[in-house]
Amino acid sequence: MRPTLLDTGVIVALLDRSEMRHSRCVKVIKGLERPLVTCEAVIAESCYLLRGMPGAAEAVLENVERGVLQIPFQLSRSAAPVRAILGKYRDRPADFADACLIYLADELNTGDILTLDPDFEFFRWRRNRPFHLLVPLD
């Protein structure tokens, strides 16, 4: 079963009911029956952005611990291709987490992504394949 990539914004929206896209993200997640994969950079960003919400960072980590969020990424084995991706998008606001997700798309052969980041309409995996954004952007 092909996994779905998971970005920071969706994690934050799922846990923060005041986020305007909360219900949209909940609806999409409920309809998925595929593994959710991400990277430590996304987990770190999510915990940081949710730091003012009691229990939210713990909830993110609990989902990692329970295997709801899978992290098949190890930077020590992937640093060179991630660095190349950052170089490719140096003129675009691609951050480290974005580059890791693009790398994971290549490695896991999937462009299906849960993201609220419109840059993923521009980013490509496997050099020229567009991402399939599962959460409709505004």
Question: Do residues 131 and 110 touch, judged by C-beta distance below 8 A?
Answer: no
> Is 90 exceeded by the pLDDT of residue 73?
no
% of the chain surpassing 90 pLDDT: 88
Helix (H) or strand (E) holding 70: strand 69-70
What is the structure's pLDDT at 136?
A: 87
Structure tokens at 3: 């996994």
What is the structure's pLDDT at 26?
A: 96
The top-level CATH class assigned to 4-131 is alpha beta
The residues pairing with 130 across neighbouring beta strands, listed in sequence order, are 124
> Is 90 exceeded by the pLDDT of residue 7?
yes
Separation CA 130–CA 122 (nearest Å): 7
What is the structure's pLDDT at 91?
A: 87
Separation CA 113–CA 111 (nearest Å): 6
Separation CA 58–CA 67 (nearest Å): 14
What is the structure's pLDDT at 56?
A: 96
What is the structure's pLDDT at 92?
A: 81
The domain limits of the chain are 4-131
Whole-structure pTM value: 0.94
